[in-house]
Amino acid sequence: MALPLFLPCAAGVEAFLADEAARILPKARMHPVRGGVALEGGPDEVMALNLECRLPQRVLIEVAEGTYRSEDELYALGRSVDWTQWITPQHTLRVDTTAQRSPLKSLNFAALRIKDAVCDAMREATGERPSVDTQRPDLQLVLHLGPERASLYVDSSGEPLFKRGWREDKGDAPLKETLAAAMLAAAGWRGTPDSGGALHDPCCGSGTIAIEAAQIACGIAPGLKRRFAFERLLPFATPAMRAQWQRLKSHAQSRIRPSAVPIVASDVSFRMVDFARRNAERAGVDRYISFHGGDALERPAPELPSGLHGTLMLNPPYGERIEVGGKAARPSAQDRDVPDDFFARLATHWKRAYTLHPAGWTAYVLSPDMKLPSAMRLKESRRVPMWNGPIECRLFRFDLVSGTMR
């Protein structure tokens, strides 16, 4: 039976997520809403979305929804679900709560009432009640409270989907894999000569953008190297569903192919380059990424075939995340002139090194500075709103054309 599903994502990513989900489930009807995408699906669709989606934070299954004015009405909402279809008394659970203009005073008490509803229902049905596990529960519930209506979801993902299972080495302020995938989606980069061409990240850090790009180019499903919460829930534990899950993973494995485009990652920190290389090995794409050390202000543009377009994709250092390194390293955190100088010099380097390529380069820069194009003395051809955690950013596009960069 199909149930309402919700794929939450970062603000600004909804349209890209709807496109991605439609490619994975071409027969499903997608409804982009603020903060995510709504659709309907059963266990097959839940498994496919967890395995294949790069952009959402989780795959949530809505099991109850209704009006509320008090915690007692939330308890009744929780009792409306047949929890014996999801877990046994030997399973564990946890309830997380989010709210938007909720009239309730305590979100913790709201979560407690949902937990009581589940446990009371299970005790009445089986004579036993499940336990709470705040670290690694079998049943992870999400209660969302609006001004008048509440929605209760089963989280089928468990750990957030940005945890792909390959990043163990990371530096300061690492970029989430879901945001790297969103940057690539916004650029229309799909890992072929006709959709973005080659890719170069000159500020690669622990390699997130380059590794996401390489997995896209190789057709590697993002969920192949991790486990999911749904694997421990009853609707997915039948022999037929376990066999279907194995078929989905085997099909995903069979689609893996060599990258058809060059992918280059470099960083001023050789330590971070080593981290990126080790992460790429765990992700299964190290052979398709060329890693280099070197300052982004000095490193020459990668050599490409004359007819192959190139894409620069970078999440450079900025004050709220991490200090600028290399030749643009600031002498102190109070010296706010250096980041602007870094970007001006970066644009000058691009003009010198990247505009000579016959097929051209396109640069995408993620930054919270809305005046970044002025600082770089460039005219952007596009700006896409994106959030890097709590930081509101824009993904700026600059077309690097021979003879001019405007």
| In-domain check, residue 237 | no
**Where residue 275 sits, what CATH number does that domain have?**
3.40.50.150
| In-domain check, residue 164 | no
| In-domain check, residue 244 | no
Digit-by-digit pLDDT tens for the chain (406 residues) are 689 999 999 999 999 999 999 999 999 999 999 999 999 999 999 999 999 999 999 999 999 999 999 999 999 999 999 999 999 999 999 999 999 999 999 999 999 999 999 999 999 999 999 999 999 999 999 999 999 999 999 999 999 999 999 988 766 667 999 999 999 999 999 999 999 999 999 999 999 999 999 999 999 999 999 999 999 999 999 999 999 999 999 999 999 999 999 999 999 999 999 999 999 999 999 999 999 999 999 999 999 999 999 999 999 876 543 344 555 444 344 334 434 588 999 999 999 999 989 999 999 999 999 999 999 999 999 999 999 888 999 999 999 976 554 4
Residues 309 and 350 in one domain: yes
Residues 361 and 212 in one domain: yes
Residues 291 and 378 in one domain: yes
Residues 82 and 191 in one domain: no
- End residue of a domain, out of 106, 121, 155: 155
Residues 20 and 131 in one domain: yes
Measured CA distances, 243 to 2, 77, 232, 246, 249 (Å): 20, 33, 14, 5, 10
| In-domain check, residue 273 | yes
Q: What local confidence, expressed as pLDDT, does residue 318 receive?
A: 64
Nearest Cα neighbor of 264 from 324, 308, 203, 194 is 203
Residues 209 and 320 in one domain: yes
Residues 203 and 100 in one domain: no
| In-domain check, residue 35 | yes
- Judge contact between 338 and 237, C-beta under 8 A: no
Domain extent for 321: 177-220+256-400
**Where residue 103 sits, what CATH number does that domain have?**
3.30.2130.30
Q: Please classify residue 107 by burial: count the beta carbons closer than 10 Å to its beta carbon, then call 0-12 exposed, 13-18 middle and 19+ buried.
A: middle
**Per DSSP, what are the bridge partners of residue 264?**
200, 290
353-358 long-range Cβ contacts below 8 angstroms, 24+ apart: 353/300, 353/301, 354/301, 354/310, 354/312, 354/400, 355/400, 355/401, 355/402, 355/403, 355/404, 355/405, 356/301, 356/402, 357/301, 357/304, 357/306, 357/310, 357/402, 358/306, 358/307, 358/402
Residues 273 and 137 in one domain: no
| In-domain check, residue 14 | yes
Report the domain count for the chain.
2
Helix-helix angle 177-186:208-218, to 10 degrees: 60
Residues 261 and 324 in one domain: yes
CA angle 402, 404, 406 (to 5 degrees): 130
CA angle 67, 68, 71 (to 5 degrees): 155
Q: What local confidence, expressed as pLDDT, does residue 210 receive?
A: 98
Rounded distance between C-alpha atoms, residue 215 and residue 220, angstroms: 5
Residues 270 and 343 in one domain: yes
CA dihedral over 112, 115, 120, 123, signed as positive or negative? negative
Q: What local confidence, expressed as pLDDT, does residue 168 receive?
A: 82
pTM over the 0.75 mark? yes
Residues 150 and 184 in one domain: no
Q: What local confidence, expressed as pLDDT, does residue 330 receive?
A: 43
| In-domain check, residue 247 | no
Q: What local confidence, expressed as pLDDT, does residue 403 receive?
A: 54
- Judge contact between 361 and 306, C-beta under 8 A: no
Residues 327 and 285 in one domain: yes
| In-domain check, residue 202 | yes
